[in-house]
């Protein structure tokens, strides 16, 4: 990613403190660290849905946040797949996948790729955890993001499927030259998906 | 004009429905704002909305008279424009609306609070600006709860007596709702069949409305659980 | 229980059904028509000041509702209604001691207008005027409402006026509409008009245009304070009390002779 990610933010919410100064040009990066350390928060700040942090956030040369500006999440082109997926309950799988405006062919192709083609007319209520995870992934990818943020994307999947999907996502992001930041506890995920590993400890990020 | 129970029921239903429809946009606007804002002074708005609920209805009626009466602050302009409020069915609608508004806002606010902000955040990252994601995600998910609020406001407005009689005047065939008709009949013979019929009808309407409210609230709850995994 | 209380040195309440022992202050409960709201309590105060043997508390409502309360067993000692029919109904249902019944007061039916009004009709026939957008009247089932209808029918204006009638749930509401100018005029008792400075009496309805307005009073059949209740009734008929009522706008009862 030309110019890559350039983040320098501080966030203070009650007892929770985060002070991150981070620069990387690497295309695929993993964030690791103990639970509750703030990894998800870093992703939220990058996505633009966490407005309480102070500092600056730049991506590929564009200032997404600094003292003078705050670019709204809908204008950033970020694909964010939070933990638990958060599929829209009132839409079918197809409706969720197509949310950002993708055409029927693209939706079908992605569904095939992720192994969820048989579920297109189902409601999120009737999906298993793993199925929901995959739909959430597809929904974000179909929005043609410039940066992909994955928060424990394969948590609900069992081993074989997990490994397969991880390598699928890795291939997909390589095909599109899509920068990706993934938060994960799972060593194998990190291996497959990321070229670089950063550890978040005591509110600061350090290269692993 | 003798007291006609059919006209009372018809009028009550019309007034109730009209007040529920008229109150929809204000209740949604205020309810959504209260559910989502972090403005420190929001408790003032919240308390102000509840005022009709704690005032004696007759006092509410008198305040409405001061506002919407022929010589009232707002009323004089309305009357000049040919839209009088006092002693008209419109007055009954206004009374029902004002008296039902606190419950309306309360229910709508709960409906929006039940929709996790996370859904909006995800919709935002998928490219939707605020108004579009409100329309495509928040509103559909809150809708059963909003309709429940409308039903509650309808039922409350239907049963209103004090504010209605002061503002609308208990005119047979024009503003004599069920509650007003029952009140008038109470001074007559006890065995008047109209009295029993009207009491039974108003109980039936209330029961149906409250059942509908329950079902709608449950429907929203069911829709939102297990939605995200 | 009675013995225990006595042993503790506390004065025990008299067992129910026994006549008063006269050593505790007695409070009488009177159910009275709404139009007596201002005057009756004043008369009760005057009675106390002139040696009356009891205090009186009041419950004011429309006459028809009062007799229904009595029929349902509400405890009371006295009943004051605003028309003879209601009192007769009370007698018929056995709620009053018929031998205690007496006509206490009369009243006059008047037409009031807002104090500052430029329109001032001099008789009921003028009510057909378009200046009257709304006429405030009591409910059709309460005495005041019935008197009003009779008076308007007698004047031949009922059909013209009826669609413009707005009915208050009590005289406060009715007068309230007139004082605010929402209703151009109202039909109320002279005693009600008397209590509200923001309205002015335009004219009185001729007494012959409606059944005589009479306020009967009686002792309630189930009272436990028969003597005291009768004493208060007697005081209400006395010159002192009648003067207070007259001050408030009431008249002596219409004579029984036709």
Q: Answer yes or no: do A73 and B124 touch at CB < 8 A.
A: yes
Radius of gyration of chain B (CA): 20
Q: Which of B116, B140, B228 sits opposite A90 (nearest CB)?
A: B140
Beta strands in chain B (DSSP E): none
Q: Answer yes or no: do A74 and B124 touch at CB < 8 A.
A: yes
Cα separation, A79 vs A77, whole angstroms: 7
Shortest distance between the Cα of B213 and any Cα of chain A, in A, equals 20
Cα separation, B128 vs B133, whole angstroms: 5
List chains adjacent to chain A, taking adjacency as at least 3 C-beta pairs closer than 8 Å: B
A2 secondary structure, DSSP code: T
A59 secondary structure, DSSP code: E
Question: What superfamily does domain A5-207 belong to in CATH?
Answer: P-loop containing nucleotide triphosphate hydrolases (3.40.50.300)
Shortest distance between the Cα of B119 and any Cα of chain A, in A, equals 6
pLDDT on residue A35: 78
Q: Where in chain C do CATH 3.40.190.10 domains reside?
A: 2-106+214-247, 109-209
List chains adjacent to chain C, taking adjacency as at least 3 C-beta pairs closer than 8 Å: B
Residues of chain B contacting A80 with CB distance shorter than 8 Å: 121-122, 125
CATH number at C109-209: 3.40.190.10
pLDDT on residue A5: 86
CB A197 within 8 A of CB A28: no
pLDDT digits (tens, 9 = 90+) for C109-165: 999 999 999 999 999 999 999 999 999 999 999 899 999 999 999 999 999 999 999
Return all residues near A200 (Cβ < 8 A) that are at least 6 apart.
A20, A31, A32, A33, A37, A38, A39, A42
CATH number at B5-224: 1.10.3720.10
Which residue numbers in chain B have pLDDT < 50? 229
- Residue A208 pLDDT > 90, yes or no? no
B131 touches A: beta carbon within 8 Å:
no
B139 touches A: beta carbon within 8 Å:
no
CATH number at C2-106+214-247: 3.40.190.10
Residue A129: pLDDT band (50, 70, 90) is confident
- Residue A65 pLDDT > 60, yes or no? yes
pLDDT digits (tens, 9 = 90+) for A87-121: 999 999 999 999 999 999 999 999 999 999 999 99
DSSP C114-159: ETT-S---SSGGGGGSTT-S-EEEE-TTSHHHHHHHHHHHHTT-HH
**ipTM exceeds 0.90:** yes
- Residue C5 pLDDT > 70, yes or no? no
Size of interface A-B (CB pairs under 8 A): 83
Interface test with B, best of A72, A88, A138, A154 (most B CBs within 10 A): A88
Q: Answer yes or no: do B170 and C139 touch at CB < 8 A.
A: yes
Q: Answer yes or no: do B229 and A129 touch at CB < 8 A.
A: yes
Beta strands in chain C (DSSP E): 26-33, 54-61, 78-80, 102-106, 109-114, 135-138, 165-168, 185-189, 199-204, 214-219
Global pTM? Answer: 0.84
Shortest distance between the Cα of A142 and any Cα of chain B, in A, equals 9
CB B169 within 8 A of CB C166: yes
pLDDT, average across residues A124-139: 91
Q: Which of C68, C139, C166 sits opposite B190 (nearest CB)?
A: C68
DSSP, collapsed to helix, strand or coil, labels residue B63 as helix
B222 → chain A, closest CA residue: A125
């Amino acid at each position: 990613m030309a110019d890559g990610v350039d983040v320098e933010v501080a966030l203070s919410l009650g007892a929770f403190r985060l002070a991150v100064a981070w620069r990387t040009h690497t295309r695929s990066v993993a964030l690791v660290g103990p639970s509750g350390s703030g990894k998800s928060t870093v992703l939220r700040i990058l996505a633009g849905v966490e407005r309480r942090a102070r500092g600056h956030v730049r991506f590929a040369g564009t200032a997404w946040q600094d003292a003078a500006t705050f670019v709204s999440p809908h204008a950033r082109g970020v694909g964010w797949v939070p933990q638990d997926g958060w599929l829209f309950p009132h839409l079918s799988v197809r409706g969720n996948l197509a949310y950002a405006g993708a055409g029927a062919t693209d939706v079908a192709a992605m569904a095939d790729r992720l192994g969820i083609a048989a579920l297109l007319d189902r409601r999120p209520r009737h999906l298993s955890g793993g199925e929901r995870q995959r739909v959430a992934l597809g929904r974000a990818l179909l929005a043609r993001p410039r940066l992909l943020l994955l928060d424990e994307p394969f948590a609900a999947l069992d081993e074989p499927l997990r490994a397969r999907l991880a390598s699928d996502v890795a291939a997909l992001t390589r095909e599109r030259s899509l920068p990706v930041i993934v938060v994960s506890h799972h060593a194998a995920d990190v291996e497959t998906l990321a070229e670089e590993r950063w550890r978040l400890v005591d509110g600061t990020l350090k290269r692993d | 004009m003798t007291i006609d129970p059919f006209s009372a029921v018809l009028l009550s239903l019309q007034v109730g429905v009209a007040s529920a429809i008229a109150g929809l946009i204000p209740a949604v606007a205020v309810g959504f704002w209260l559910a989502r804002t972090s403005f420190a002074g929001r408790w003032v708005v919240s308390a102000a909305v509840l005022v009709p609920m704690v005032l004696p209805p007759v006092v509410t009626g008198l305040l409405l008279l001061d506002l919407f009466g022929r010589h009232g602050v707002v009323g004089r302009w309305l009357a000049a424009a040919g839209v009088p409020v006092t002693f008209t069915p419109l007055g009954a609608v206004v009374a029902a609306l004002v008296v039902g508004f606190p419950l309306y806002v309360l229910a709508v606010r709960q409906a929006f609070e039940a929709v996790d902000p996370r859904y909006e955040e995800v919709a935002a990252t998928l490219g939707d600006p605020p108004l579009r994601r409100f329309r495509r995600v928040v509103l559909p998910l809150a809708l059963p709860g909003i309709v429940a609020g409308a039903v509650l406001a309808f039922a409350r407005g239907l049963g209103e007596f004090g504010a209605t009689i002061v503002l609308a005047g208990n005119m047979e065939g024009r503003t004599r709702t069920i509650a007003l008709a029952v009140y008038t009949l109470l001074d007559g013979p006890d065995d008047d069949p109209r009295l029993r019929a009207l009491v039974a009808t108003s109980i039936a309407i209330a029961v149906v409305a409250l059942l509908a409210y329950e079902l709608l609230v449950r429907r929203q709850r069911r829709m939102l659980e297990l939605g995200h995994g | 229980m009675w013995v225990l209380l006595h042993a503790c040195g506390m004065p025990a309440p008299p067992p129910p059904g026994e006549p008063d022992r006269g050593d505790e202050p007695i409070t009488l409960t009177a159910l009275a028509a709404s139009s007596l709201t201002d005057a009756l309590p004043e008369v009760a105060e005057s009675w106390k000041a002139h040696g009356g043997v009891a205090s009186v508390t009041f419950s004011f409502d429309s006459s028809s509702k009062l007799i229904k309360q009595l029929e349902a067993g509400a405890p009371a000692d006295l009943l004051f209604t605003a028309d003879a029919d209601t009192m007769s109904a009370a007698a018929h249902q056995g709620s009053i001691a018929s031998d205690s019944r007496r006509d206490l007061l009369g009243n006059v039916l008047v037409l009031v207008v807002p104090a500052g009004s430029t329109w001032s009709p001099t008789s009921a026939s003028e009510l057909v005027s378009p200046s009257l957008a709304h006429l405030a009247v009591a409910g059709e089932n309460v005495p005041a409402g019935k008197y009003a209808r009779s008076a308007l029918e007698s004047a031949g204006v009922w059909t013209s006026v009826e669609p413009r009638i707005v009915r208050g749930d009590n005289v406060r509401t009715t007068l309230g509409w007139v004082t605010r100018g929402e209703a151009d005029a109202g039909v109320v008792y002279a005693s009600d008009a008397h209590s509200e400075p923001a309205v002015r009496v335009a004219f009185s309805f001729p007494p012959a245009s409606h059944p005589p307005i009479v306020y009967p009073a009686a002792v309630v059949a189930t009272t436990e304070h028969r003597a005291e209740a009768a004493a208060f009734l007697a005081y209400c008929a006395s010159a002192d009390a009648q003067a207070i009522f007259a001050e408030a706008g009431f008249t002596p009862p219409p004579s029984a002779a036709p």
